[in-house]
Amino acid sequence: MKCLIVQPVHDAGLDLLRQNGITPVICPATDTKTLAREVMGCDAVITRDAGFPAEAFDAADRLRAVVVHGTGHNAVDKDAAIRNGALVANTPGANAQSVAELTVGLALDALRGMSAADRAERSGRAGFRESMPFIELAGKTVLVVGWGAIGARVGAIMRAAFGCEVLAYSPRATSIEGATRVETLDEGLARADVVTLHTPARPDTYHLINRARLQVMKPGAVLVNVARAELVDEEALAEVLAAGGIAGAALDVYSKAAPQGPLAECANVIFTPHLGATTEEALRRVAMGAAGHVVTALQGGIPATTLTPVQAAEQSA
């Protein structure tokens, strides 16, 4: 049996595949044409943010499972998977601690100006300490948008380490422990000193943070997005920041052009290159989880986080 590895994963995951008689096949590129060629002869696929398109599903001759290394699965064509009798699963939660830690770090950076201070020192520019107000995180009100594994972990850290009042906006969450649920996003935005985004990209969350909602936020508030770029209207964010509408933003996800566009002209914007889940510990956990799902699927089982109808997996067995 073979598993196509679309993008690099931790060696621990590759070793787990080999221990179960599955040969990893490293894909040389992530474009559709290459995926369609390389998937031939493979029983499973592990992919990251490159996803897996319909053309690659249609080209496969023995594909039984596609596993997403991480949580987000929008880039995998699940209709094509069902049509071709392959299951799709993801590995949510395995990177929650790493993403939560970065979220808190970015909030601190936005409030204390650490990245901007570093740039000022390196350039020899004096007077940075007097150039802006610096705010403590302790005791502030934090709005967590999306109360999944990551959002709940962020809430727990903010409450335990900093004594924050934690609000949660998450209409799909059935239970919210350790936080106060707000019924509307605008209610939470109006109260929060820090807003952190942890919700998936869906049609109903596209530009969830738009111009009107940015204007609801406190002038001294900061926005942290570690989820999906599509959640934020970047043009509106740049305009609101330039006008002093909010104090700053820290973005681990954003459009490709953002670091060279209008947002880049705002000194109170922090960009990080999708670092949320890239700790050694998280990469190992996620790779092991993804490989474990492949093993389960190829042994005739159904991974616990399967996203497609079970019937598709049964047909492929």
Residue pLDDT, tens place only, 244-291: 999 999 999 999 999 999 999 999 999 999 999 999 999 999 999 999
Looking at the structure, tell me whether residues 137 and 229 fall in a common domain: yes
Looking at the structure, tell me whether residues 191 and 303 fall in a common domain: no
Looking at the structure, tell me whether residues 100 and 84 fall in a common domain: no
Report the CATH number at residue 164. Answer: 3.40.50.720
Looking at the structure, tell me whether residues 103 and 147 fall in a common domain: yes
- Whether the per-residue pLDDT at 311 is higher than 60: the answer is no
- Whether the per-residue pLDDT at 314 is higher than 60: the answer is no
Strand, coil or helix: what is 263? helix
How far apart are the C-alpha atoms of 309 and 198, rounded to whole Å?
A: 25
Looking at the structure, tell me whether residues 189 and 285 fall in a common domain: no
Helices 114-123 and 96-112 pack at an angle, to 10 degrees, of: 60
Looking at the structure, tell me whether residues 129 and 193 fall in a common domain: yes
Strand, coil or helix: what is 68? strand
CB atoms within 10 A of CB 68: 28
Residue pLDDT, tens place only, 127-139: 888 888 899 999 9
Domain stops at, among 235, 252, 271 = 271
How far apart are the C-alpha atoms of 207 and 109, rounded to whole Å?
A: 24
**271 phi and psi angles, rounded to 5 deg:** -110, 130
- Whether the per-residue pLDDT at 153 is higher than 90: the answer is yes
Q: With CA atoms as reference, report the closest residue to 286 among 27, 8, 21.
A: 8
The helix (H) or strand (E) run that includes residue 188 is helix 185-191
- Whether the per-residue pLDDT at 17 is higher than 80: the answer is yes
Identity of the amino acid at 49: D
Looking at the structure, tell me whether residues 47 and 195 fall in a common domain: no
How far apart are the C-alpha atoms of 306 and 293, rounded to whole Å?
A: 9
Predicted local distance difference test score (pLDDT) of residue 310: 66
Q: What is the mean pLDDT of the chain?
A: 94
Looking at the structure, tell me whether residues 121 and 254 fall in a common domain: yes
Strand, coil or helix: what is 206? coil
- Whether the per-residue pLDDT at 297 is higher than 60: the answer is yes
Q: Check: CB of residue 266 under 8 Å from CB of residue 75.
A: no
Residue ranges making up the domain that contains 239: 96-271
Predicted local distance difference test score (pLDDT) of residue 316: 39
Residue 272 to residues 129, 170, 253: CA-CA distances in angstroms?
23, 25, 8
Confidence of residue 50 (pLDDT cuts 50, 70, 90): very high
Looking at the structure, tell me whether residues 120 and 197 fall in a common domain: yes
Residue pLDDT, tens place only, 162-172: 999 999 999 98
| Average pLDDT for 182-196 | 98
Tally of domains in the chain:
2
Looking at the structure, tell me whether residues 90 and 128 fall in a common domain: no
Residue pLDDT, tens place only, 231-246: 999 999 999 999 999 9
- Looking at the chain, the whole-number percentage of residues with pLDDT higher than 90 is 87
CB atoms within 10 A of CB 130: 6
Predicted local distance difference test score (pLDDT) of residue 72: 82
Looking at the structure, tell me whether residues 228 and 100 fall in a common domain: yes
Predicted local distance difference test score (pLDDT) of residue 71: 85
Predicted local distance difference test score (pLDDT) of residue 312: 44
Looking at the structure, tell me whether residues 171 and 260 fall in a common domain: yes
